[in-house]
Amino acid sequence: MSVSNANSDREQTRELSSAEEEQEEESVEQRLEELADEISRVIEACPVREKDALHDYAVSLVRERAPARPKGAESGPLTENPGDHSAGGAARAGIGYGLMLIPVGFVISPVIPPIGVLLMIAGAVLMVSGLFAVLFSGPRSGRRTSDD
């Protein structure tokens, strides 16, 4: 009986904390809306020729004083670090460029045969090197391995 009471107490505490978080989020959102309304009232009270400049100034002040992310913070889950997938991206780019160079070389080879053949060979080399890079690169975060 005491175990079920403890579990119900935990559930009630979780429900209360989530309700408090929702209320806090709502109060923050309401406060921001109030501030935005106040800013718009101040801008509307100014002369017409100054409204655009004041609007830009207000936006710059908000961005300066309340940045979306602190300066030392790392990138969030939605932003991607470009170095994470650079090897796979370069390999896929090689395959793509190779696929484009082969038909271009084929079209140019009747007009200027040495350049056309060179483009077809370069396209084939890019495709093969890109395939090797994709197939033989180490496992990355997005790839499944045999350990999964």
| Residue 115 clears pLDDT 90, i.e. is over it | yes
User: Quick one: what percent of the chain has pLDDT higher than 70?
Assistant: 64
Task: Give the range of the structural domain holding residue 106, as residue numbers without chain letter.
Answer: 86-136
Within 10 angstroms of residue 41's Cβ, the number of other Cβ atoms is 9
Q: Whole-model pTM?
A: 0.38
Mean pLDDT for 27-50 is: 85
The answer, yes or no, to whether residue 103 has pLDDT greater than 90, is yes
Residues 10 and 47 in one domain: yes
Number of domains, the chain: 2
Lowest mean pLDDT among 36-40, 79-83, 91-95: 79-83
Tell me, yes or no, whether 142 lies in a domain: no
Q: Mean of the per-residue pLDDT values for the chain?
A: 75
Question: Is 120 within 8 Å of 105 (Cβ atoms)?
Answer: yes
- Run of H or E including 131: helix 113-136
Higher pLDDT, 57 or 22: 57
In a domain, 122, yes or no: yes
Spatial separation of the C-alpha atoms in residues 7 and 17, rounded to whole Å: 15
Q: Please determine, for residue 120, whether its predicted confidence score (pLDDT) is greater than 90.
A: yes
